[in-house]
Amino acid sequence: VDAAGTRHFALSAGTGSSELIAGKRTATWGYNGSVLGPTIRARRGEAVAFTVDNALPEPTTVHWHGMHLPSRFDGGPHQTIEPGGTWAPAWTVNQPGATLWYHPHPHGSTEKHVYRGLAGLFLIDDDVTDSAGLPNTYGVDDIPLIIQDRRLTADGALDESDATDVGLLGDTIVTNGIAGAYLPVAHDRVRLRVLNGSSGRLYNLGFADDREFHLVASDGGLLPEPVPAKRIQLSPGERVELVITMRAGVDALLRSFPITDRAGIAPADAASFGFDDAFDILDLRPVAALTAGAALPAALATVARLDPADAVAERDFEMQWFMINGTRMDMNRIDFSPTVDTTEIWTVRNVDNWPHNFHVHDAQFQILDIDGTPPPAALAGWKDTVYTPPGSRIRLALRFTDYTDPTFPYMYHCHLAMHEDQGMMGQFLVL
């Protein structure tokens, strides 16, 4: 932190090798190390400044997924960092405490860059998250989990061949960069901040013993109150925070179960999308004497509802065949331009028979309805990425605030990275 109060960070994207699987070296990419990147943490109201170096053999970008910030610092496909180059974005954090993440976004190569290991978490704290009464000792009872699937060749290299219709699907789950992850836990209440950092795989998370847990946050911050659940589905790019209660002498084994939400998916296709797969993700092992934590609070945060009656624009997005509204991404085409500080309603329809999801840069949105029905409690908070099953119609309310720029656009896209790379993306200017 400098004299002016700005918090400085240095990131360097580079190559290396790591032990994804014990005993095997795999060539990987990472930030400030050989795989993944440091967890970045800043407070609401704080000015942050980065130097980002590119020590990779090809151009990359670093996008701050979920962050409200000026478009020229967004790190989308227009903020290319050449090999040997440096980029210096800076902004003031101004949004609720949340679990965000950062990852490359070079047009056409995002899947490959993330698959090779470039991704990290970006946590925002604020007074509300400080006093919410949730476990918050990082790495002790507040555990970050980046869940990804990888496929390795016999000699331990990352296998980038044989993409499916949802991109690269792996048969090995790496959690925070390691397969077969386990963690000794000393507290009876544990918060997991989970990111689906995979290219195209959906997870249906739960515990092997079917224990109940509580969802406490979605992509953009705390939910109004804890939501009890036994399963939670996460599509690529989505985050969820959950709190579980450890029991003496009993492991809590976090697993991904087969996907049960199969609306619109042909039975013959489900397996090729990875929907039948099940994996162990993380084994939480209680120590002999667990420290008792506080009971879960009844209320977490106030989520002020955006009023759809205030909307000044309505826009439609139809997802099909690597396209949105019949066109593929064009770096030189601006698709539309919302007016700053106004509310809009976006209707997103997946008219394909493939799974897609929908992600918007700069703003967190609220889901108004899914196929005409209000969203379940787990999806009623701030979101920046939402699963859009085949045949679905989802209405979002959102506002782009504070920043205008006549030159640099923000993106919206399917976050199945191969679909995004293929052009299922568009761009808008906030004016």
Q: Which residues contact 82 (CB under 8 A, 6 or more apart)?
A: 54, 59
- Integer Cα distance of 180 and 271 in angstroms: 23
Instruction: List the Cα angle 376/228/396 in 5-degree steps.
Output: 20
With contacts defined by CB under 6 A, name the span among 241-249, 320-328, 388-396, 411-419 that binds ligand C2O: 411-419
Residue 237 contacts ligand C2O per CB under 6 A = yes
To ligand C2O, the closest distance from the beta carbon of 416 in angstroms equals 11
Instruction: Write the DSSP symbol of residue 309.
Output: G
CB of 393 to Cu ion, least distance (A): 16
Q: Which 25-84 positions form the footprint of ligand C2O (CB under 6 A)?
A: 63, 65
CB closer to ligand C2O, 256 vs 357: 357
CB of 26 or CB of 357, closer to Cu ion: 357
Is position 413 an interface residue for ligand C2O (rule: CB under 6 A)? yes
What does the alpha-carbon distance between residue 322 and residue 341 come to, in Å, rounded to a whole number? 31
Q: Which stretch binds ligand C2O (CB under 6 A): 146-154, 336-344, 394-402, 409-417?
A: 409-417
Rounded to whole angstroms, how far apart are CA atoms 22 and 334?
47
| Residues ≥6 apart with Cβ < 8 Å to 286 | 184, 185, 186, 188, 246, 247, 248, 249, 250, 251, 252
| Residue 416, contacted partner among ligand C2O, Cu ion, none, CB below 5-8 A by kind | Cu ion
Nearer to Cu ion, 344 or 362 (CB): 362
- Alpha-carbon Rg for the chain, nearest whole angstrom, is 20
Query: 30 vs 237, which CB is nearer to ligand C2O?
Result: 237
- The tokens describing 111, both together, are 């899947």
Helix (H, G, I), strand (E, B) or coil at 153: coil
Which residue has the closest beta carbon to ligand C2O?
65
Report in angstroms how near the CB of residue 361 gets to Cu ion at its nearest. 5
Task: Check binding of 135 to ligand C2O (CB under 6 A).
Answer: no
44 conformational bin, left if phi > 0, alpha if psi -120 to 50, beta if neither:
beta
Q: Which is nearer to Cu ion, 110 or 256 (CB)?
A: 110
Residues within the interface to ligand C2O (CB under 6 A)? 63, 65, 103, 105, 237, 359, 361, 411, 413, 415
Residues within the interface to Cu ion (CB under 5 A)? 65, 356, 361, 414, 416, 419
